[in-house]
Amino acid sequence: MSRNVFRRPLAVVLVAAFLATVCVHWAWGRDHRRKKHHAEDAQQQSEAAGDLRLAAPGAKQLAPFDQQIAFNTLDMINQGRQTFRFDTFGDESFWGGVLQLHKAIEGHKFGGVGDGVSPATALAVGLKVDSEALPAHVVQGLRHGTVDLNDPATTLALLKLNAVVGILAKFDRGGALTTMGITCALCHSTVDNSLTTGVGRRLDGWANRDLNVGAIVSLAPNLQPVADLLGTDVAGVRKVLMAWGPGKFDAELFLDGKGFRPDGKTAAVLIPPAFGLAGVNLHTWTGWGSVTHWNAFVANLEMHGKGTFFDPRLDNANKFPIAARNHFGHIHTDPDDDLISPKLPALHFYQLSIPAPAPPDGSFDEAAAERGDKLFEGKANCARCHVPPTYSEPGWNLHTPSEVGVDDFQAKRGPEDRYRTSPLKGLWTHTKGGFFHDGRFATLADVVAHYNQLFNLNLTAGEQRDLVEYLKSLGDEVPSPKDADEDHDHDKHKNRDKD
């Protein structure tokens, strides 16, 4: 098999190339758009159809229904990206309305409470800034150090520009901050630091292992509703939140109320990436459900948006006492008021389209990785569970705690009492915080050593190093539009030679 990369089918590449030229014409609200601009869209499709080629020998243009599929693909990706980056699902009513977190951000000087949150503080707790949302003079100011990063007023200005990744703020006509909400991108996006640390172009799907969710939420002026839900006091809530640390979140806290493990460590787990999920069955560390199940779960129960969610497993009062008591598995919102359910299909589609990033050139030893590839499928037998190319099992990809050699605390907080076989591509993007669900293994070398001992693999030190290099090499190589054109020209010449 190929060592570390899996090329996308050419048809997908051609669609990606086409996206660069026409996606600006496709707003996410396609149902409304089609009613008003059907004729205009049809004309655009007709003009662009000549650029759509089928990756079959001799084909010059996609057939009519294939064109519909291609345009639907683009439309769904655009809708899903918009939702992933900018949709709060109406959760402002919780983060701003209930917790009043926006007041802590603006500070007393601007009508809130406390000192406010400066950009320096925001960056220190892992929030990221989208450089492409910044006007030229701000970009230049950041480059030359003339932007005041210690003033909460600068944070408010960035929020007005919609430049803070994962946070959507609302201001009144007078410019006062009135509320705020969060989006999927808060935890599952970062930036490439191309402008400065924490400021750059978006990297959707990457786990933000710098993000200290607990520290951010602990700033909220009104944590009493959370304390009431968990049956504790505000001090207890803050103790739990502050124990999370960077890159961790506890989605089960609102279900079972367990803030700490029996050993006294935080019950929070590492934020996982949201890329490389196409073909992977169960999602999350403990296999709660599919990607779209987890999207609905998080949007309703964690982000506190306005939608509908059904999961009767949460009626188990022994396992999920808080969820059962509050009927969290039976949330229903009138379809006319549901801000989540209509967004799930495109959100799912977009997430599945995000490739696992290929490792940078020179970031691993290629010769060692080649040897590690053979070990992965041979002596180490890793591929028994981590089946290429998804590097998870096709089917029911769960294992008991004893099968993976770890304790059962987190497994028992999930519905199946098991751990998921996690995909392995793109590991190089989220080494911070460690590996496994709780980061118990600091390095990939520690992970390999664990399994070497657990399964009595008798791997030498050199073989273990080779396996690590192989793991570092895994990622998706997505050809550029230029590569697609070259492949198409090559196919044309091959077909011509056959004639």
Phi, psi of 249 (to 5 degrees): -155, 150
**What Cα–Cα distance (Å) separates residue 214 from each residue in 63, 191, 194, 243, 318?**
52, 21, 27, 7, 26
pLDDT reading at 8 higher than 80: no
Report how far residue 413's alpha carbon sits from residue 181's, in angstroms, rounded to the nearest whole number. 27
Tokens, residue 481 = 């539009």
- pTM value is 0.86
Report how far residue 61's alpha carbon sits from residue 46's, in angstroms, rounded to the nearest whole number. 12
pLDDT for res 61: 84
pLDDT for res 478: 84
pLDDT for res 30: 40
**What Cα–Cα distance (Å) separates residue 49 from each residue in 52, 67, 99, 274, 319?**
5, 7, 50, 32, 54
pLDDT for res 354: 98
pLDDT reading at 153 higher than 50: yes
Exposure pattern of 66-93 as b/e (b: 16+ CB <10 Å)? ebeebbebbbbbbbbbbbbbebbbbbbe
pLDDT reading at 20 higher than 70: no
pLDDT reading at 492 higher than 50: no
Phi, psi of 18 (to 5 degrees): -65, -35
> How much is the average pLDDT of 18-24?
40
Nearest to 288 by CA among 297, 301, 275: 297
Tens of pLDDT, residue by residue over 304-332, are: 999 999 999 999 999 999 999 999 999 99
Tens of pLDDT, residue by residue over 38-97, are: 444 444 444 444 444 444 445 568 899 999 999 999 999 999 999 999 999 999 999 999
pLDDT reading at 110 higher than 90: yes
Tokens, residue 455 = 């399964």
- CB-side neighbour CA atoms (13 Å) of 23: 17
Q: How many beta carbons lie within 10 A of that of residue 310, not counting itself?
A: 12
Tokens, residue 65 = 């229904």
pLDDT reading at 26 higher than 70: no
pLDDT for res 482: 58
Tens of pLDDT, residue by residue over 423-460, are: 999 999 999 999 999 999 999 999 999 999 999 999 99
- CB-side neighbour CA atoms (13 Å) of 238: 10
The full DSSP string for 48-116 is: HGGG---SSTT--S--HHHHHHHHHHHHHHHHHHHHHHH--TTTHIIIIIIS-HHHHHH-GGGTSSTT-
Report how far residue 423's alpha carbon sits from residue 207's, in angstroms, rounded to the nearest whole number. 14
pLDDT reading at 412 higher than 60: yes
pLDDT band at residue 19 using 50, 70 and 90 as cut-offs: very low
Q: Please enumerate in sequence order all residues whose Cβ is within 8 A of that of 402, keeping only pairs 6 or more positions apart, or say none.
A: none
The alpha carbon dihedral of 371, 377, 378, 380 has a sign of: positive
Tens of pLDDT, residue by residue over 337-369, are: 999 999 999 999 999 999 999 999 999 999 999
Report how far residue 274's alpha carbon sits from residue 489's, in angstroms, rounded to the nearest whole number. 34
> How much is the average pLDDT of 199-219?
98
Q: Please enumerate in sequence order all residues whose Cβ is within 8 A of that of 53, keeping only pairs 6 or more positions apart, or say none.
A: 14, 59, 60, 61, 62, 488
DSSP-based three-state secondary structure for 156? helix
Supply angle C-alpha 103, 108, 110, rounded to 5.
80
**What Cα–Cα distance (Å) separates residue 334 from each residue in 306, 315, 323, 337?**
10, 22, 21, 5
pLDDT for res 41: 45
Tens of pLDDT, residue by residue over 225-248, are: 999 999 999 999 999 999 999 999
Nearest to 387 by CA among 354, 425, 426: 425
Q: Please enumerate in sequence order all residues whose Cβ is within 8 A of that of 417, keeping only pairs 6 or more positions apart, or say none.
A: 400, 401, 408, 411
pLDDT reading at 185 higher than 50: yes
pLDDT reading at 483 higher than 60: no
Q: Please enumerate in sequence order all residues whose Cβ is within 8 A of that of 299, keeping only pairs 6 or more positions apart, or say none.
A: 89, 91, 305, 307, 340
> How much is the average pLDDT of 207-218?
98
> How much is the average pLDDT of 170-188?
97
Alpha helices in 213-334 (DSSP H): 213-217, 224-230, 234-244, 253-256, 291-297, 321-325
**What Cα–Cα distance (Å) separates residue 53 from each residue in 48, 71, 432, 499?**
11, 13, 42, 20
From its phi and psi, is residue 309 left (phi > 0), alpha (psi between -120 and 50) or beta? beta
Report how far residue 181's alpha carbon sits from residue 92's, in angstroms, rounded to the nearest whole number. 4
Q: Average per-residue pLDDT in the chain? A: 89
